Copies of this chain bind each other. A is one copy, B any other.
Amino acid sequence: MMREKDITIYDLAKSLKLSIATVSRALKDDPVVNKKTKKRIIELAESLGYRTNHFAKNLRTQKTNTIGVIIPRLNSYFMSTVIAGMESIANRAGYNLIISQSAEALEKEIDSAQTMFKNRVDGLLVSLGYGTTNLNHFDQFLHKKIPLIFFDRTSSQSPFTNIVLDNEKAAFDATQHLIDQGCRQIVHITADTGLEIYRHRLQGYQNALAKHQIEFKEELVLEANLSMESGHEIAKRILAMRKRPDGIFAANDSSAVGCMIKLKENGIKFPEDIAIVGFNNDPISIVIEPNLTTINYPGYEMGELAASQLISHLRGSHSLQMTKTIVLHHELLVRQSSLRK
């Protein structure tokens, strides 16, 4: 593939009978260069369609202006919203995002981390996969002092900054709400696998039960991958229970909705027979009937925050060193799926 030759600072310099040094300075708006020469240089650059060669620049400066993002899956409403937020901030700041999906598998996550490392990203934003049992693959970033922020699916084990909701409190709120509505036999749909986000939600669920002297029963905690299909599966398990639950708190909306659909097919009424609360405030929560009570999770803001924290750290304007955890605001959105009175 034959491309025309690109304009370089040499071309500009020759054309204006200046040195490349001056041209380079003018292009980065160095105050040291004469206003008039600067003007001439910039005008010529524009008229000739000059564009800086980022590779030369990066090679020289050892920075890439690139941020890596590792996520389990891109195609969920929540995650794509987060990425949208990140992209908007990054773009504005002149950073590029490179995204890699770990498909919830540790091996792929290691690969992704490897790719990011090889690409010499300036910083990294990571949401962990179900399969992640250790964080060794992120050590290399620590060594090279490449900043890394975990968001959503985080790990407080790590020395990195985390951006999260107060998952324990959110789960507590959700469960407490169910209890307030009269529920006493409450199922919790979760994803386990040792990810602390789900441990925290489980803990919040337990705390609420404890506060109201409701016995915690292991068999009411149902694990799934939280897809809509997994919700169908969970519904079957619920239908098979000796004592039918009167409340469900699901760790996301997809599984809650999948579960509702299947239970409704089996004649269960929401919220009369079972009151249900989800998590995320996914659009499907206002499509299902009755509308799903859920925890509002500000994905776009989380993406914006993660990106801006990272970038301001990279620019040295604000270090992450001190910031262990940033907690975003959540909110219980009460809708018909759980409202009995």
Could you tell me which A residues sit within 8 Å of B by CB distance?
1-4, 51-56, 58-59, 62, 64, 73-77, 79-81, 83-84, 87-88, 91, 96-101, 115, 117-120, 143-146, 228, 254, 257, 261, 283-284, 286-289, 300, 316
Contact = CB atoms under 8 A, between A and B. Distances in A.
A221 to B, nearest CB: 25
A54 B289 contact: no
A316 B52 CA distance: 27
Contact of A4 (B119, B143, B261, B288): B143
Contacts of A254: 283
A144 B77 contact: no
Contacts of A77: 75, 77, 80
Given A55-B59, A58-B55, A96-B119, A101 B84 contact: yes
A99 B99 contact: yes
A145 B284 contact: no
A101 B117 contact: no
Contacts of A101: 84, 87-88, 91
A316 to B, nearest CB: 8
Contacts of A115: 91
B54 A56 contact: no
B87 A80 contact: no
Contact of A100 (B74, B91, B143): B91
Contact of A98 (B80, B81, B98, B261): B98
B75 A81 contact: yes
B118 A52 contact: yes
Nearest to A291: B261
Given A54-B120, A75-B77, A283 B228 contact: yes
B118 A51 contact: yes
Contacts of A98: 96-98
A283 B255 CA distance: 12
Given A59-B56, A287-B288, A2 B145 contact: yes
